[in-house]
Amino acid sequence: MYYALLYDTVPDYVRLREPFRAEHLALAESARRAGLLILAGAFDPPDSALLVFKADDPASVVEFVRNDPYVRNGLVSSWRVRPWKVVGGA
């Protein structure tokens, strides 16, 4: 099953994320290597972001959120996980 993790970010997010960016990217890379994180990135403008996971249930996505330094340090104003029924593509 695929899950979409949607982040809403705070104003000036791009500037504020700098001290936490390396840790965030390392967490994302770890999830990618584990086969959980498929795609990730901020929208333009970067007022929100989308991360796509492939997992058996949403628990691993919620664990990612709890460990994300962007969330822990207040750069994400809200987040939600939604099941995503993919009907096309690879």
**pLDDT tens figures, 47-88:** 999 999 999 999 999 999 999 999 999 999 999 999 999 998
Comparing 29 with 90, which gets the higher pLDDT? 29
The reported pLDDT for the residue numbered 90 is 66
**pLDDT tens figures, 6-52:** 999 999 999 999 999 999 999 999 999 999 999 999 999 999 999 99
- Whether 51 contacts 5, CB under 8 Å: yes
Which superfamily does CATH assign the domain made up of 2-84 to? Dimeric alpha+beta barrel (3.30.70.1060)
Rounded-to-integer distance, Cα 7 and Cα 19, Å: 18
pLDDT-based confidence at 89, cuts 50/70/90? confident
Half-sphere exposure of 80 toward its Cβ, with a 13 Å CA cutoff?
5
Question: Which residue has 């460990």 as its token pair?
Answer: 67
The reported pLDDT for the residue numbered 45 is 94
Give domain limits for the chain: 2-84
Other CB atoms within 10 A of residue 52 CB: 17
